[in-house]
Structure 1
Amino acid sequence: MISHVYIGISDFAAAHRFHAAVMAALGHAQRFCDESKPWAAWQPAGGGRPLFIIGHPYDGAPASAGNGQMTALLAPSRAAVDAAHAAALAHGGSCAGLPGLRPQYHANYYGAYFRDPDGNKFCVCCHDPA
């Protein structure tokens, strides 16, 4: 259903450090990085799609976070949720919700929320039982 997600960023070096750390914690491989554009993308560990891409907005206007928009990244385990949240905070992100169960979504929903240095909101979640 999803081919790719493109997130607008303003400072490529800072955004790349941030997203590379989060993606590594989730086990996703970098597919490409081109500082001259600038943009970078990650893919699932097994390859293929969907792609997660960061880069400057194509229209040349400043990047801005959307109100009510959030990108949710699937984690392979609850430990990966914890690791991704910790990586986000260690690389310039801000906490928007500590890791934990959220039974209001479903009994096994374990997630964490954070914002990247540009203010984009992310969720990292695992739907599997402990």
Structure 2
Amino acid sequence: MIDHFGLQVSDYDQARAFYAKALAPLGYTVVMEFADSTAGFGLDGKPDFWIYAGGRTSPPVHVAFRAETRAIVDAFYAAALSAGATDNGAPGLRLDYHPNYYGAFVRDGDGHNIEAVCHTQAS
């Protein structure tokens, strides 16, 4: 199991604002922040996703965040787009993965493929 991971970003302030807004529907908040332009986002006081100033992680990576419901995936997608992301796959089923794989994909300011995914059946 992965405990935490991080990305270098080319514009820390922009990336911090983007992730704060895009990840809010998933319950993520800034849990820790340091003066050297490092922020840790997470749930329940435990940061598991970090951004660091200092240039962009290259090549761009794919990061997927688990969502409890399909409505949260939809909310992530809308929040990410309104925060400046570009569309990389609207919310919907991805049957190639499995019958209940419901995901949405966006590109952040550094070109990373950021996803929210729900693996449960629609209720």
TM-score, normalising length: structure 2: 0.90
Counterpart pick for 1:76 among 63, 68, 78: 68
Letter of the structure 2 residue corresponding to residue 66 of structure 1: P
SS of match in other structure, 2:56: coil
SS of match in other structure, 1:97: coil
- State the distance in 1 between where 2:46 and 2:12 align: 24
Q: How far has the Cα of 1:47 moved from its partner?
A: 4.0
1:5 aligns with 2:2: no
Letter of the structure 2 residue corresponding to residue 4 of structure 1: H
Unaligned runs of 5+ in 1: none
Letter of the structure 2 residue corresponding to residue 122 of structure 1: I
1:75-94 maps to which residues of 2 (within 5 A)? 75-94=67-86
- State the distance in 2 between where 1:4 and 1:64 align: 16
1:129 aligns with 2:121: yes
Which residue of structure 2 lines up, in the alignment, with residue 39 of structure 1?
Answer: 38
Counterpart pick for 1:63 among 56, 64, 75: 56
- State the distance in 2 between where 1:104 and 1:129 align: 15
Following TM superposition, where does structure 1 have runs of at least 4 consecutive aligned residues deviating by more than 3 angstroms? 46-49
Q: How far has the Cα of 1:64 moved from its partner?
A: 3.9
Letter of the structure 2 residue corresponding to residue 118 of structure 1: D
Q: How far has the Cα of 1:106 moved from its partner?
A: 0.6
Q: How far has the Cα of 1:79 moved from its partner?
A: 0.7
Letter of the structure 1 residue corresponding to residue 56 of structure 2: A
- State the distance in 2 between where 1:87 and 1:33 align: 22
Which residue of structure 2 lines up, in the alignment, with residue 96 of structure 1?
Answer: 88
TM-score, normalising length: structure 1: 0.86
Residues 77, 126 of structure 1: 8 Å contact kept: yes
Residues 65, 120 of structure 1: 8 Å contact kept: no
Residues 64, 119 of structure 1: 8 Å contact kept: no
Which residue of structure 2 lines up, in the alignment, with residue 52 of structure 1?
Answer: 49
SS of match in other structure, 1:37: coil
Unaligned runs of 5+ in 2: none
Q: How far has the Cα of 1:29 moved from its partner?
A: 3.1
How many correspondences in the alignment?
A: 122
- State the distance in 2 between where 1:37 and 1:118 align: 19
Residues 31, 46 of structure 2: 8 Å contact kept: no
